[in-house]
Amino acid sequence: MSSIGSELALFIQPLKNLLANLQGKADLGHVELIYSDQGVVVLLRHMKNLSDADVAAIKAFATDHQINFFSQGSTRQVVCLVGQEKLTYQLDEGQLSLSFAVTDFLQVNAKINQKMVTQALQWLQLEAQDVVLDLFCGLGNFTLPMAQKVARVVGVEGVQKMVDRARFNAQLNDIDNSEFYQADLSADNLKKQPWSPLDFNKILLDPARAGAQDCMAFIAAKKPTHIVYVSCDPLTLARDSQILLEKGYKLAKLGLIDMFPQTKHVESMALFLK
């Protein structure tokens, strides 16, 4: 187990004891543990408001263990009970600092995420004159490291909140050659998007389990020299890959990434060349 995993694991039993003794334990949903630059972060989801006594117990626990503790009730509003509300994580050995909220989508394994980003950038063989498209870009996990190596990069994401986060992260890291847009990437309307006319010569995509079937024809029509497809579902990766193969691309590299140890799930990365 990594040092980060070990540190998070240390809190499982103490957290279990804390939650078992709360007055509103029957109304608790689930707990998330995150490791950030600010230390251990806990998000407790609950279906009813916490009592004053439970809030006091949580604050005492978090203060004693020096952790950041957030709660989210039935209204979906997130409250920072103890610790720092502004959270970040590092990429490129600290060269990049990415801001995130506890409810944002993040890769679950920080060390593997860094290796995955590094490999994706290597496979794309990025050069200073490249114009790159990053589909399903989230908060800029791949986009911003790529921006440091190319002329221009465009990130596209379906969730406006994540687009806003990516733009903020670009400003946070003084990156001015990246642009971020919101678009429904599950709909066949990409040709109508304001960024679609650009001549992208390299493309990266990292969709959810549903894959990116509606994007593949658009991607192939752009005729990029390199396409890196990061996938958390081998079935949808295989389905979408077939479209690229039929459009004249070849599968040059394929790798598996153990992002989710001790589970049946794997992360895959595929490189397609024209």
What is the Cα–Cα distance from 29 to 26, expressed in whole angstroms?
A: 9
Query: In residues, how long is the chain?
Result: 274
Count Cβ neighbours within 10 Å for each residue of 105-144 and write b for 16 or more, e otherwise: ebbebbebbbebbebbbebbebeeebbbbbbbbbbbbbbb
What is the Cα–Cα distance from 50 to 18, expressed in whole angstroms?
A: 13
Determine whether 232 is an active site residue: yes
Percent of the chain as helix, strand, coil, to the nearest 5 = 35, 30, 40
What phi, psi does 17 have (nearest 5°)? Answer: -65, -45
User: In this structure, are residues 84 and 38 in contact, taking their beta carbons and an 8 Å threshold?
Assistant: yes
Choosing from 80, 137, 215, 232, which is the catalytic residue? 232
What is the Cα–Cα distance from 166 to 171, expressed in whole angstroms?
A: 9
User: In this structure, are residues 235 and 190 in contact, taking their beta carbons and an 8 Å threshold?
Assistant: no
* Residues tagged active-site: 232
